[in-house]
Structures are given as structure tokens and as C-alpha cells.
Amino acid sequence: MTDTRTGQCLCGAVAFEADIEAPHYHACHCDTCRRWGGPGMATNAVSLRIADTSALRAYGSSDYGERVFCGTCGTHLFWRMKDGSVNVVWVGALDDSDDLTLGTEIFVDSKPGHYSFAGEAHKMTGAEFVEMVMKTQ
Ligand SMILES: [Zn+2]
Ligand SMILES: [Zn+2]
């Protein structure tokens, strides 16, 4: 069954529909996510439909990935592979995410000591996560 979620940025210039893979998300503690305003809390989308992409802006934050945001209001929306093969949707941009649960914490070795998430989600270091991603590519 397809789990379709709607979402938008603060100003409404970017509205989207995402078919999410599973009703949980990951939290990323990497330096880049935290500098972008994180920790990054995001869920994998198997497909993503954006009504109007004219306000979308993308920043290439690594050789393979880019961070996508609204150029008008600055809302953080997606992380995606530059080749379009993976789309990850920021949970905060979804209209309704109350039922989602934290599945995995990644880059736990980059997490500073001044915050932590409740519960016992699966935890992976940056090296473990990158190794897993490379195996599935
Ligand atoms: Zn906006
Ligand atoms: Zn990250």
C-alpha cells in the first residue's frame, strides 16, 4: 500500500507529495546536517511529486548529494542524490508526521554531547552508514 504524504515549505511556494518507503525516519547527526540546522530528521521517499519547482534551490553539499530548499522562505525540504536515484524528505516539511517513529540514528559518532533523542533507535556510525549505502548502490 502506498503511503502518500503531502508537505510544503513555510511560504507555500513549494508544495509536494511524497510516497514514503516506511512510517519511520532517520536522524542524522553529521556535521553537514547540523550546520544546515539539524540534526537532520528525514524519511526516504520512493517517489516525489513537486507541483511547482520554480522556487526550489539546491546546494551540492557533497560529490554525490545535494540539499534542496525553498529559495523564498529558506525551508529545508529534501536531500537527494545528484543523479536523482534517492530522495529523502525532511520530516518537518510534511503536513502530517505524527505517526512516524524514529527508526535509525546515523553518524552517531559525530553527535555532540549537548543533546540526545529519547528511545533506543538503531544507531550507526558514519562509517557503518556509508558502508551500508555503498553496498546497496
Ligand atoms: Zn517557501
Ligand atoms: Zn547528515
Q: What is the pLDDT along the chain (137 residues), one digit of tens a residue?
A: 799 999 999 999 999 999 999 999 999 999 999 999 989 999 999 999 999 999 999 999 999 899 999 999 999 999 999 998 899 999 999 999 999 999 999 999 999 999 999 989 999 999 999 898 888 76
Closest ligand to residue 76's CA: 1
Give residue 107 CA to ligand 2 midpoint distance, Å. 7
Give residue 126 CA to ligand 1 midpoint distance, Å: 31
pTM across the whole model? 0.92
Of all ligands present, the nearest one to the C-alpha of 129 is: 2
Q: Which amino acid is at 24?
A: H
CA gap 85, 44 in Å, rounded: 11
Ion ligand 2 nearby residues (CB, 5 A): 28, 30, 33, 40
- How many angstroms is it from 29 CA to the middle of ligand 2? 6
Ligand in nearest proximity to the CA of 41 = 2
Can you read off the three cell numbers belonging to residue 122? 538503531
Angle at 116 between CA 18 and CA 80, to 5 degrees: 30
How far is ligand 1, taken at its centre, from the CA of residue 18, in Å?
Answer: 17
Question: Looking at domain 3-136, does it have CATH number 1.10.540.10?
Answer: no
Nearest to 24 by CA among 111, 91, 120, 85: 91
